[in-house]
Amino acid sequence: MAGKNYDSKDIVVLEGLDAVRLRPGMYIGTTGPKGYHHLLWEIVDNAIDEISNGYGDTISITLNKDGSATVEDNGRGIPVDEHPTMHKSGVEVVYTTLHAGGKFNNSNYKFSGGLHGVGASVTNALSKFCNVTVYKGGKEYFIGFHSFKDEKGKMHSGVPVAPLKMVGSTKKTGTKVTFLPDEEMFGSLKFNFETIAVRARELAFLNKGLRLVLKDENDGREEVFHYEGGISDFVSYLVEGKSKLFSKPVYFNAEEDNFDLEVAFIYTDSYTESSFSFVNNIPTIEGGTHETGFKNAFTKVMNAYARSSGLLKEKESNFLGEDFREGITCVINVKMTNVQFEGQTKTKLGNPEARTIVESLTTKKLTAFFEEKKNGTIGEVIIGKAKGAAKVREAAKKAKELTRAKNSAENFNLVGKLAAATSRNREQCELFIVEGDSAGGSAKQGRDRRFQAILPLRGKPLNAEKKRIDQVLANEEIRTIISALDTGIGEDFDLSSLRYNKVIILSDADQDGAHIRAILLTFFFRYMRELINDGHVFVGLPPLYKVYKKDYTEYVYSDEELPQAIARVGRGYSLQRYKGLGEMNPEQLWETTMDPEKRNLIQVSIDDAAEAERIVTTLMGDDIEARKKYINTYANFDREDDFFKNYKNG
């Protein structure tokens, strides 16, 4: 395939460029940090698509001093000849026309991610300038685009400065794009090195042999991501700091028609499943048919192995899938054509044929793997882990049934703990999980009882990262939360039963409060992840200070804000430092932290599930040195950062 020509006739045009600036959310989701970085990923995705299809092996991402970013690859280079119907260069078509690209048929790109032709033109439309250099056929070509207002104030987005021009000779092949997101759309946002590094590392894992270089010209930082082991290295990276049950990940790959599958997995002594799937480099955080196919096959093969090896007796029941998945860390990487994602967010694969193909290929490969005598030890380890999980499952069965029981005094004694909302409209209702009886009392008095429910915690919940599910369910505070939400947990989780649209963690602004937040978020991540994925989990931000005098009061939410607040209040001010929520009376708690018109909420999201897995393991697991190292490297205790600024008044 590597010798196939790629010309302008291969670019299929569906429709012209629309007014992207009028509705940027339709194309990049948000004009916050996530949307800002989305512009970069659309250009990177184009480079990745070249490499995924066998053209080139290196991508560089450079953050320039003027705030722009440069992405360069050594693929084939965007077509530079004249398009047969648009009568302009292929480069200009790609960067000025929505839904224009070489990915709508399968002759040039066997696999592709991104937004299928939307990406490059959207990045151009939302940038102050976008310069494209193409190295192709021994020649170097250049075209520049810019966005500007004419003398009448009308905006012109992504307009070519001049037609494509041949500017020299070269031995290189590929495409280089430099663009600066327009501050009119994004304000003072900047590219974040750490955010980019997380995704760059993931892309390098998913594309074995890819060399991805990330540089920041502002401070000289540089990281090179290159993994010859591909997703095997990915799995090893994810379980760093955990106790592995065998030495290296099990890996297999298989192909069928235009469908490539590779899987890597390993077991640790943890009690939860950590599975991550990707389709054409896109994370499918909600799973889909490919995950279903793998899980079905894995359960069948392992039960068959258990019986054939005598580890499961004739009269004993088969293990359940969840038994085999306890302690597994697994990456499923699929590349396929004609991808159908469910919903606009591309987080769940819907192709029915993917389940059948993955199930068939996995059955064939795993059966062959366990037929080899040298792999018998691994099989025995997995069966042994499943036996332990099955015993715990039985022990937890009654506890799960109890947690699904309705709110009643004889079950979890929610009466007297939970102050319920009077409304039955789940879309309007919200639950505050509040640290301590004192703060809980203030919250109960200060709330709007029509739609706000209060659940005070009377002790520190269990760290779910270190305990089996039966131990988690034995913790009274955890059981109370499960019962209040009414969703069940783990395999039994049912989002449709959720009683509250917002679940808000409200704890003190100190170390103990931060620890309680971390414990609760870990529990939600491990056993109610869909609650986070669907946008229901929030963190409430109480004020740190009250600055006031007789006729004026101002609440302050960070140390950085304090001097300006003092200046606004003026001479003769008094200052109160809140050590905890319990120090606020009901009116103050309502006004600062609970009133939907004034409060500050952070919505908890999982932008990268695999990296979230690693962070939770590091911060909440047993490896103390890894935790210290992470905190020293990344911890930022100033709440007035970009993340906080972009989620105020939620």
Q: Nearest-CA neighbor of 221 among 235, 205, 239, 200? A: 200
Cβ–Cβ under 8 Å, residues 507 and 448: no
Q: What is the pLDDT of residue 197?
A: 96
Query: What are the catalytic residues?
Result: 435, 508, 510, 512
What is the average per-residue pLDDT within 440-469? 89
Q: For residue 638, what are the contacts with CB-CB under 8 A and spacing of at least 6?
A: 558, 559, 560
Q: For residue 273, what are the contacts with CB-CB under 8 A and spacing of at least 6?
A: 322, 325, 326, 327, 328, 330
Higher pLDDT, 631 or 489: 489
Pair of tokens at residue 176: 């280089």
Angle between helices 511-527 and 476-485 (to 10 degrees): 60
* Whether the predicted pLDDT of 8 surpasses 90: no
Q: What is the pLDDT of residue 483?
A: 87
Q: What is the pLDDT of residue 25?
A: 77
pLDDT band at 388 (very low <50, low <70, confident <90, very high): very high
Residue 540 phi/psi, 5-degree rounding, is -85, 145
- Which of 11-15, 165-169, 556-560 has the lowest average pLDDT? 11-15
Q: Nearest-CA neighbor of 526 among 575, 467, 573? A: 467
Residue 43: in which H helix or E strand, if any?
A: helix 33-52
Q: What is the pLDDT of residue 101?
A: 58
Higher pLDDT, 291 or 258: 291
Domains of the chain as residue ranges with CATH: 8-226 (3.30.565.10), 231-397 (3.30.230.10), 404-543+578-645 (3.40.50.670)
pLDDT band at 237 (very low <50, low <70, confident <90, very high): very high
pLDDT band at 524 (very low <50, low <70, confident <90, very high): very high
Q: Where does 393-523 show beta strands of DSSP type E?
A: 430-435, 452-457, 502-506
What is the average per-residue pLDDT within 267-289? 91
Q: What is the pLDDT of residue 156?
A: 83
- Which of 256-260, 352-356, 447-451 has the lowest average pLDDT? 256-260
CA atoms of 326 and 321, how far apart (whole Å): 9
CA atoms of 402 and 103, how far apart (whole Å): 52
CA atoms of 22 and 39, how far apart (whole Å): 16
Tens digits of per-residue pLDDT, 11-61? 655 344 446 777 787 778 888 888 999 999 999 999 998 888 889 999 999
- 3-state SS string for 151-203: CCCCEEEEEECCCCEEEEECCCCEEEEEEEECHHHHCCCCCCHHHHHHHHHHH
What is the average per-residue pLDDT within 249-269? 95
- Which of 112-116, 180-184, 352-356, 575-579 has the lowest average pLDDT? 112-116
What is the average per-residue pLDDT within 324-352? 87
- Which of 386-400, 402-416, 570-584 has the lowest average pLDDT? 402-416
CA atoms of 392 and 468, how far apart (whole Å): 8
Q: What is the pLDDT of residue 415?
A: 53
pLDDT band at 650 (very low <50, low <70, confident <90, very high): very low
Percent helix, strand and coil across the chain, each rounded to 5?
Answer: 40, 20, 40
What is the average per-residue pLDDT within 444-451? 95
**202 to 40, 166, 237, 562, 641: CA distances (angstroms):** 15, 36, 10, 40, 25
What is the average per-residue pLDDT within 117-141? 91
- Which of 10-24, 88-102, 160-174, 354-368 has the lowest average pLDDT? 10-24
* Whether the predicted pLDDT of 380 surpasses 70: yes
The overall average pLDDT reported for the chain is 86
* 177 Rama sector, left if φ>0, alpha if ψ -120 to 50, beta otherwise: beta
* Whether the predicted pLDDT of 300 surpasses 80: yes
CA atoms of 203 and 197, how far apart (whole Å): 10
Tens digits of per-residue pLDDT, 473-485? 888 888 889 889 9
Tens digits of per-residue pLDDT, 599-643? 989 899 887 778 888 788 777 877 767 666 666 666 554 443 333
Percentage above 90 pLDDT, the chain? 55
* Whether the predicted pLDDT of 405 surpasses 50: no
Q: 470 pairs with which residues across the strands? A: none
CA atoms of 577 and 509, how far apart (whole Å): 11
Q: What is the pLDDT of residue 648?
A: 36
